[in-house]
Amino acid sequence: MVEQIKVGVVGCGGICKGTYMENMVNKFAIIDVVGACDQIDSRAQWMADHYPGVKKMSLDEMMNDPEIQIIVNLTYPESHVAITKMALEHGKHVYVEKMMAPTFEEAKMLYDLAREKGLMYTTAPDTFLGSWEQDARMYLDNGVIGEPRTVHAQISRYYDPDTPFFDTEPRYFFFPLHYGGGFPFDLGGYFLHEMINLFGSIRRVCGFGGNLFPERTYKNPKHPKYGEKFEVNTPTTLIAALEFENGVLGTFNISSDTQNTMIFEVAGSEGVMHLGDPNSFRTPITVTRPGANPSEIDIPRGPKPAPDPNADNDRQVLGEAKPSQTVILPSMHGFYESLRGVGLADMCYALKNGRRPRCHADIGLHSIEVIHGIQESCRTGRFYEMTTKCERPEPLPASAYSASGQERVLDE
């Protein structure tokens, strides 16, 4: 058995109950969840009741427990800073849900504090360690579309909830319409972390947008505040251009003010790769390029006929059918289940083996500065030169391990 790393979880709401706790307790051998804490006592109690070995703890008990090495911060975005800062000041390593903080300045403060304390600080989203994301990294690095030249990321959802329950109690608190949890922070991190996984740091950004409709109305007649106005205090639509350090140029269009769209693709000198949903671990990815799936060619017998000047000279092989241009790429990596928490497992193995974690805080800091920089560009009308850089995370090796054995690739 792997020697386990003991962790405490702060924040037992939907993301914890829905996926994190199950994965941490039952999917990864190296993680030992010993405590759960939440402002709403019943949430932490539910975790203790349903997961043997998990104890309901107060925040002070957790921070002062000498056996707990990592605090997993799954609180709402507004609470990320206070909980992470407290954990670092108590000598705990921290894994935090996206993003690190509501602002770049606060994220930089936490990043600097972790460095000062000599503590490991990692951040979600960790989905870039998933199956299709690592497949895309491998195929791009091996030149399947030649030299990558451009990347286009676009995601939109219509976040103007008209349910009777919107924000009426904690379980209906809709954080993407609140400070620090806007759509660019909510889903934008998934695209940014995957683009960093594929191409590395971003040199500069520019953009348009911001908080397009700050004043909203409760629209459902059954809502207790029907007809009243409320304020949205977070950016909701950002349209941006990105210049990567390696020369790749990108667009990043993200909005919660329009109906649903999603496009994510990389264009190269020899083809185009159509990527999946970076909020998912397993999505088919395809490549479009000349001759991607050539049909079987009949070997000509006898003299080759003279070229027809009126025909397509690229098709002057006798019996050759026009090849299919798009193929599905085979999956070569593990972590194809919904495994949020794989970044925490990687962090635990990084502690065990004395290496750099793949979800290193410099990626999270760089990502939030991208959002900050786009907003600054919207405000000033100028390019924003990035002040941070991040190290492109090490790829995961391809593997054919069983679902329960995929964790082996992290133990390096």
Interval 70-86 mean pLDDT: 96
Tokens 């791009």 label which residue? Answer: 140
Q: For residues 254 and 402, which has the higher predicted lDDT (pLDDT)?
A: 254
pLDDT given at position 1: 76
pLDDT at 358 over 70: yes
How far is CA 332 from each of CA 266, 398, 412, rounded to the nearest angstrom? 19, 5, 19
How far is CA 142 from each of CA 50, 179, 249, 334, rounded to the nearest angstrom? 45, 41, 19, 19
DSSP state of 54: -
Strand partners, 104: none
- How sure is the predictor about 170, in pLDDT bands with cuts at 50, 70 and 90? confident
Do strands 249-255 and 148-158 pair parallel, antiparallel, or not at all (unpaired)? Answer: parallel
**Helices 188-199 & 361-380 angle (0-180, nearest 10):** 110
Show the tokens assigned to 98: 């996206």
DSSP 3-state percent helix, strand, coil across the chain (nearest 5): 35, 25, 45
Gyration radius of the chain over CA positions: 24
pLDDT at 310 over 70: no
Interval 43-72 mean pLDDT: 97
pLDDT at 314 over 90: no
Q: What are the structural domains, with CATH classification, of the chain?
A: 5-128+337-410 (3.40.50.720), 142-287 (3.30.360.10), 288-328 (no CATH)
pLDDT digits (tens, 9 = 90+) for 264-288: 999 999 999 999 999 999 999 999 9
CA–CA separation, 397 and 12 (whole Å): 33
Interval 340-351 mean pLDDT: 98
Interval 158-167 mean pLDDT: 90
Interval 194-214 mean pLDDT: 96
pLDDT given at position 318: 45
State the DSSP H helix or E strand holding residue 10, giving kind and residue range, or none if neither: strand 5-10
DSSP state of 223: S
- How sure is the predictor about 88, in pLDDT bands with cuts at 50, 70 and 90? very high
Q: For residues 304 and 406, which has the higher predicted lDDT (pLDDT)?
A: 406
Strand partners, 8: 35, 71
Mean of per-residue pLDDT scores for the chain: 92
- How sure is the predictor about 293, in pLDDT bands with cuts at 50, 70 and 90? confident
pLDDT at 315 over 70: no
Tokens 């679902």 label which residue? Answer: 403
pLDDT given at position 18: 87
DSSP state of 410: G
How distant is the alpha carbon of residue 201 from its chain centre?
15
CA–CA separation, 94 and 97 (whole Å): 10
In this prediction the pTM is: 0.91
Distant-in-sequence, close-in-space partners of 101: CB < 8 Å, separation ≥ 6: 77, 80, 81, 84, 107, 109, 110, 180, 368
Q: For residues 189 and 297, which has the higher predicted lDDT (pLDDT)?
A: 189
Please state, for a pLDDT cut of 90, what percent of the chain lies above it.
83
- How sure is the predictor about 311, in pLDDT bands with cuts at 50, 70 and 90? low
pLDDT given at position 333: 96
